[in-house]
Amino acid sequence: MPLQNDARIAAFGDCLHSMSVQTQGTSAAPKNALETFPNPQAERDYSIRIRIPEFTCLCPKTGQPDFATLKLEYIPDLVCIELKSLKLYVWSYRDMGAFHEAVTNRIADDLVSVLAPRYLRLTAKFNVRGGLYTTVVAEHRKPGWAPSARRRGGRPRQSTIIRDYSTYIWTQIPSTRPSGKRSCSGGTPCWGRDKTGAPPSPRRKPGPSEHEFRLSPE
């Protein structure tokens, strides 16, 4: 029985050694090179959003680590960022001392130099340090480029739809406040009603479930 256990331990050790030999030289290491690939839809304006929650650098004063969450949003032109190279690029800052403002703008400059995007926005939200939270935002816009509000001959873009929706909500909220001048049946104020006392017509026709029904006594 002890001989069998020794054989199993030896076989397990050989297996671990072979695994270490196979993975030797293939582990990822931090590097500063950023790689790209061609934009598959260069004729369209669309945004790419990347969240990097494990960014780390060193404080240039104390040498202690600083932690931050990076939020990258950009509209590509001809190329897009390759994610593995971006991950290794971010790792290269973990042993580098830099101020929050400097490192944020440096990353943004490196991305702009490689991507040449139509628009880029990098937000670095650092963790608390000495009771203070720091958030640095760096933006870049390609000269002569402006986002189109609507597609030609088509429906509005998503950003326009959201803007119209928020405008609709804010313009409808004041109409729900009590005027204090008129009262409906029962002495209750008429909120959001016109001069005839009727409620404002909604954008869509309400369904049967949204009407008020009175049950007739049996």
Indicate whether 184 belongs to any domain: no
Report d(CA 157, CA 193) in Å as an integer. Answer: 33
Q: Is the Cβ–Cβ distance between 127 and 67 less than 8 Å?
A: yes
Cα 136 from Cα 102, distance rounded (Å): 10
| 129 torsion bin: left (phi>0), alpha (psi -120 to 50), beta (else) | beta
Residue 171, domain member (yes or no): no
Q: What is the pTM of this model?
A: 0.58
Q: How far apart are CA 96 and CA 80, in angstroms?
A: 26
Would you say residue 216 has pLDDT above 90?
A: no
Instruction: Tell which wins on pLDDT, 152 or 199.
Output: 199
For residue 57, give both structure tokens.
């650098």
Residue 159 lies in a domain: no
Q: In this model, does residue 99 exceed pLDDT 80?
A: yes
Assigned domain for 120 exists: yes
Q: How far is CA 116 from CA 24, 108, 122, 133, 206, in A?
A: 36, 11, 14, 31, 50
For residue 137, give the nearest of 183, 70, 198, 78 by alpha carbon.
Answer: 70
At 54-94, the pLDDT tens digits run 999 999 999 999 999 999 999 999 999 999 999 999 999 99
Separation of first and last alpha carbons in the chain: 87
Angstrom distance (rounded) from CA 71 to CA 52: 6
| Catalytic member of 66, 109, 110, 194 | 66
Residue 116: both structure tokens together: 């040449």
Which of 54-58, 196-200, 209-213 has maximum average pLDDT? 54-58
Residue 82 located in a structural domain: yes
Q: What pLDDT score was predicted for residue 82?
A: 97
Is 160 in contact with 150 (CB distance < 8 Å)? yes
Per-residue pLDDT band at 213 (split at 50, 70, 90)? very low
Question: What is the tens place of the pLDDT at every residue in 153-193?
Answer: 444 343 333 333 333 333 334 444 444 555 455 555 555 55
The burial of 68, by beta-carbon neighbours within 10 Å (0-12 exposed, 13-18 middle, 19 or more buried), is given as buried
Any idea what the CATH number is for the domain that residue 127 is in? 3.30.1130.10
66 is catalytic: yes
In a domain, 111, yes or no: yes
Residue 72 in tokens: 């990258």
Residue 198: inside a domain: no
SS3 49: strand
Lowest mean pLDDT among 23-32, 44-53, 205-214: 205-214
Report how far residue 58's alpha carbon sits from residue 88's, in angstroms, rounded to the nearest whole number.
17
Chain segment 4-17, per-residue pLDDT in tens: 566 666 665 565 55
Q: Is residue 41 part of a domain?
A: yes
Is 59 known to be catalytic? yes
The tens digit of pLDDT for each residue in 106-128 reads 999 999 999 999 999 999 999 99
Domain assignment of residue 85, given as a range:
36-141
The pLDDT value recorded for residue 165 is 33
Res. 214: pLDDT tops 50: no
Tell me what pLDDT residue 79 has.
97
**How many structural domains is the chain composed of?**
1
Catalytic residue among 59, 95, 110, 190: 59
Share of the chain above pLDDT 90, in %: 50
**The predicted structure's pLDDT at residue 129:** 86
